[in-house]
Amino acid sequence: MTDMVVTENLTRQFGTFRAVDRLSLNIREGDVFGFIGPNGAGKTTTLRMLATILKPSYGRATVAGINVAQRPQEVRRIIGYMPDVFGVYEDMLVYEYLNFFSAAYGITGASRAAAVDKVLNLTGLEEKRNASCRSLSRGMTQRLSLARVLLHDPKLLLLDEPASGLDPRARVEFKELVLALKKLGKTIVISSHILSELGELCTAIAIVERSRLVYCGPVEGATQQVRDMGRVFNIQIREGQPGFSAGDAREFVRALPFVDGVRDGERPGQISVRFAPGFNDPHIVNKELVTRGYQVEAFSELAVRLEDAFMQLTKGAVQ
């Protein structure tokens, strides 16, 4: 697969503040790429640079090999950028609105009607063709906004927080729409501040925090990276004998050299142990406990959930 987007040390400065700081990314052709980070991380600023609306202060970005700062007109022809707030001309009918933007994209004559029909069909808005834009729900307005950026059949879609404000059903419909667009061969970049929202949809993700990249790669890699920061195990102790309570076990385990932290588990008699980064012999703890006379009833690793991975990776990982 070839690269659709490449950024190298992409930086945007507002005064002395760096909203995007030396971001280096590769987005392959055909990817559904999640661009994830908390509020203020620099997602919108990055997308605006890729969409040629903002100029990079430093570094470079290319779309299909074309430099966004040097040849913005060419880049605009192959991208569809959907901003996080979309202005819809409210007193227009849906098809008038799409006609208007087709004209703006330079689509003329019969191909204009065909382009409008095609995007209405793709976004499931045929029935709303003659509806007033003002009458559309938020989910439909958002689909209309997507229809608009599909008119010129772009290769790359840049969607800024497209799922925010949608109800659960509209979110599912939105995901289906993204998958349909992926099938058409489009590369799709979607920003969000929620990782789990995009987890199953994305072929790759980047996590940004405080203007910097903290992770770029497959979704599973993010959970693996957190796992590498220290595996967590729950240990269930059978209590009863004096001096062998879960509390005693907690203090015993705490003193072991390869243990980073211990706390009480969620259940009675349970303790939760975090091992040092890179430590991969947790069974040693089991052995130590048993040798000491503790009765270990269960010993199980805590799976890293996507949301936990996100919280870990964006929690002061970058200073």
Between 31 and 161, CB nearer to ligand ATP: 161
14 binds ligand ATP (CB under 6 A): yes
Between 59 and 230, CB nearer to ligand ATP: 59
306 binds ligand ATP (CB under 6 A): no
181 binds ligand ATP (CB under 6 A): no
Length of the chain: 319
Contacting range for ligand ATP; rule: CB under 6 A; set: 43-51, 166-174, 195-203, 270-278: 43-51
98 binds ligand ATP (CB under 6 A): no
Q: Which does residue 199 bind out of ligand ATP, Mg ion, none, counting CB within 5 to 8 angstroms by kind?
A: none
Cβ neighbours of residue 9 closer than 8 Å, sequence gap 6 or more? 22, 23, 24, 58, 59, 60
**One residue of 10, 25, 41, 150 binding ligand ATP per CB under 6 A:** 41
DSSP-based three-state secondary structure for 97: helix
b/e string for 203-235 if b means 16 or more Cβ within 10 A? bbbbbbbbbbbbbbeebeebbebbbebbbbbbb
**What are the backbone dihedrals phi and psi of residue 311, each rounded to the nearest 5 degrees, phi first?**
-65, -40
Applying CB under 5 A, which residues contact Mg ion? Answer: 43-44
**One residue of 1, 2, 16, 39 binding ligand ATP per CB under 6 A:** 39
CB 270 within 8 A of CB 246: yes
Between 43 and 212, CB nearer to Mg ion: 43
- The first and second tokens of residue 73, run together, are 């007109």
- The first and second tokens of residue 19, run together, are 């909203």
**One residue of 7, 11, 45, 312 binding ligand ATP per CB under 6 A:** 45
Applying CB under 6 A, the residues found at the interface with ligand ATP are 14, 19, 37, 39-45, 193
